[in-house]
Chain A
């Protein structure tokens, strides 16, 4: 009994020491002095929670029963670590870029942040880990009993020992695993304590090993000799078991929740993995180096009925080395406690994030914006989950009675968690993997595992009766749990692995091929599989619906007020907004979701933001809306450009119109002074000569001359007034046309004659053959237009040898009559206005008229259905008269 008291005091002191280590590590991390905490060595040592009490005690027992086979449990993980470049590196990168909190979170996040998937993984993990926790409780209880020679069990009962152990571990885990809701889900204190425990268990096992080889066995050579003479001297393993167990342990390294926790979630730096890739196998080789010697010497020295699982402890005890035995006990204790603590943390994170929180949130009502800090709820649910997990482990231990060999319990656990392997590997290497495939595959695998391995492990009459086990349900023999489909196997573990893993994988593949993933799944799939190509964030939330204030209220509850406000403030500042409420851009929503995922898991964070946005996931419609928005913006910008071009055009037209108006106004002013001058000049002559006539006393010749002048001036006035009247009549449309049939050539002859060109220097060039068109129109008015154009040439053509070319052309739609002289033409500035009333190109002096001629021409041609226009670029002034072909009559007359 005294021995037991010493043992218990030493254990308590050890636990207190671990407390201090964890406490100071946490403090150092909080102060930012965690450089030495984040070394590759600590990372490698933390991975050693793979070696639990199963390794410490069970491996020797395993070796004593089955020889070298125990090595498979360490060779498998070594292969995975050696191949770190292939799988682990990718897992760690994904875990980092997606802020994964657990293996359930990773799988659910990969398959479209599906919470149902996370629930399945969580259930598998909890059920699969329960035997493992029971195993730890059992091993420590056995060790205590071995030390005290059944004294403890007799005084307080075997169950009580494991109960107290479970309570103590729960307390430690709650204290250090859930002290704070770390955004990164890291537990520096716990990791440090685990690293210390890893050293303790390695030192303990190596010490016992060295003692056994040199203290008892007498050196390496003699020990090898003894191995060759022992019960396990022959190399005799079943190939199936050798390969199957190696596969199983390799899978377990990737899928065990606690391994995922230390390997991916707690990883500080990807480079640590490079070190761990060789350092962790080295740790494993040291842990397994002495197993066979201890087993062989134990078998030789210990009495026949001794439990080989405890040789590590009982050999030093039997040799009287109490200190070594104490160290050995502490090593086993360390192995058990570190495993239980990390497993409980990992499982409680999963249970809390994927089962408790979603239920609690939906129980709170439809909105995620209820006031109050939600963090205490998360912490409470985690603490309760830890206790729940340990209670389950204790119950398993209590129910199975602790009678089984440690190794077989561990294998049951491995086979359970390995059911997530196809979904995990498919998820990170195959973009075609879908949620449906993963879900069905895992459910099939899990059910088969439970049916063929887990439930039978409780022994007959707990879940399955003896008859059920032997004959199958209702006597259907091909459904016998341990000989499924009529294929009997002497090895229930391999039997179960083969069926559950193969059908799991097949289901996963077939349903992945048959189903169609949601857009979010496809986005996440690309993110996961191509994690090294682009570490960009997946697209998701579209802008607009989320209110920044609601989001802040929610974020405060999860991240804590200070952190949430800091996050929002930083974002607002980066957007150039003062205050705490940034624009809810998709990028910001993405970041917020990621931050929250660090606390409550991806699925819950996604669902919570979804609640505020008014929907739970990204749909094709959302993606299309985003695309539409972009398209709309582009279209709008195109429209703006078009409008702007139109405006520029209009402005140009307006400017031109304005210029024209200004010019016309100037011309009108000029005309008014001109017309008054034109009217005044004849009026002045008429008045002056009529006054002379009134005074009388003139001879006949003078009389006739003065009267002639008065008459001429009156005619000039009349003509001017006639022109004005003519124009006004034409403009008002009151003119009536006198239409007749005639030839263009004749009209031109008449016009040339009337223009009075015979006595001038102007030479007229015509091509009479082309003028041979018969037209039906008002010939007099047309002639008036021609006369005007010819007399213009007469007046304005300013060369020494003036020449006017009149040509008739047949255009498709009309007949063109061009009047082209060889003068200097009309300056471009005046071309616009020459057809306006009162307009005159050039100086006033050269113009004999009032500037109404071309305006009249234009009005006449309008009336006749044609046009007259200035034809630029002909080497002189050029006018084109267009007559529509409708005026043609019955072709030409030869």
Chain B
């Protein structure tokens, strides 16, 4: 592959990645809601100790925070030209 034909593909890929990044940012609250509502399923089946629910919720919460941190950092860098600063 020559250098010349590499460039457009590289750009397209960049833009494609950025779009999927936005999709990820849009869908992450859905994932969060799903994870946070999941413990409701357990209540019906059997007696679940509070401690395990707490560990699950805090674990999911922390994982979501890490995910959001990665996504938002990338989004911030990828869409640099779109940001507005207050004058």
Contact = CB atoms under 8 A, between A and B. Distances in A.
Interface of A: 67-68, 71, 75, 78-86, 93, 96-97, 184, 224, 227-228, 232-237, 239, 242-243, 246, 267-271, 274-275, 277-278, 281-282, 285, 289, 292, 532, 535
Given A86-B29, A270-B84, A281-B64, A235 B53 contact: yes
Contacts of B25: 83-86
Nearest to A227: B51
Contacts of B64: 78, 82, 281
Given A235-B53, A268-B86, A285 B61 contact: yes
A86 B26 contact: yes
Given A80-B29, A82-B28, A282-B65, 15 more contacts: A71-B57, A75-B61, A79-B33, A82-B64, A83-B25, A84-B25, A84-B72, A85-B22, A85-B72, A184-B86, A224-B51, A228-B51, A246-B36, A281-B68, A292-B54
A224 B69 CA distance: 29
Given A274-B72, A281-B68, A233 B50 contact: yes
Interface in B37-54: 37, 39-40, 42-43, 47-54
Contacts, number: 122
B76 interface: yes
A285 B49 CA distance: 20
Given A83-B32, A292-B50, A239 B26 contact: no
A275 B57 contact: no
Given A78-B64, A277-B72, A269 B49 contact: no
Contacts of B47: 234-235
| Residue among B28, B65, B69, B82 with most chain A CB within 10 A | B65
B83 interface: yes
A277 B58 contact: no
26 contacts: A68-B54, A68-B57, A82-B29, A84-B72, A85-B72, A86-B26, A86-B29, A96-B84, A96-B86, A227-B51, A234-B48, A235-B39, A235-B43, A235-B49, A235-B52, A243-B40, A267-B86, A274-B73, A277-B68, A277-B69, A278-B66, A278-B68, A278-B69, A281-B65, A285-B61, A289-B58
A274 B75 contact: yes
A486 to B, nearest CB: 27
A71 B26 CA distance: 23
A235 B50 contact: yes
A228 B29 contact: no
A35 to B, nearest CB: 12
B51 to A, nearest CB: 5
Given A79-B36, A82-B64, A85-B22, A227 B54 contact: yes
Contact of A236 (B36, B43, B54): B43
Interface size class, chain B = 35 or more
B50 A67 contact: yes
A242 B61 contact: no
B36 A75 contact: yes
A194 to B, nearest CB: 19
A68 B36 contact: no
Interface of B: 22, 25-26, 28-29, 32-33, 36-37, 39-40, 42-43, 47-54, 57-58, 61-62, 64-66, 68-69, 72-73, 75-76, 82-86
Contacts of A269: 83, 85-86
Contacts of A79: 29, 32-33, 36
A267 B50 CA distance: 39
Contacts of B42: 235
Contact of A271 (B26, B53, B76): B76
A774 B42 CA distance: 120
Contacts of A243: 37, 40
Given A269-B83, A277-B68, A78 B32 contact: yes
| Residue among B66, B68, B83 with most chain A CB within 10 A | B68
Contacts of A239: 40, 43
A266 to B, nearest CB: 10
Contacts of B22: 85
| Residue among B22, B39, B72 with most chain A CB within 10 A | B72
B49 A83 contact: no
Contacts of B84: 93, 96-97, 270, 535
Contacts of B82: 532
B26 A232 contact: no
A39 to B, nearest CB: 13
B59 to A, nearest CB: 10
A270 B83 contact: yes
A275 to B, nearest CB: 7
A277 B73 CA distance: 10
B50 A68 contact: yes
Contact of A274 (B29, B61, B76): B76
B85 A85 contact: no
Contact of A285 (B28, B50, B65, B85): B65
Contact of B26 (A83, A270, A282, A292): A83
| Residue among A67, A281, A289 with most chain B CB within 10 A | A281
A289 B42 CA distance: 22
A114 B69 CA distance: 39
A503 B51 CA distance: 38
A271 B49 CA distance: 41
Contacts of A97: 84
A553 to B, nearest CB: 26
Contacts of A532: 82
A90 to B, nearest CB: 12
A234 B33 contact: no
B6 to A, nearest CB: 31
B32 A271 contact: no
Contacts of B51: 224, 227-228, 233
B74 to A, nearest CB: 10
B4 to A, nearest CB: 34
A571 B57 CA distance: 57
| Residue among B61, B62, B85 with most chain A CB within 10 A | B61
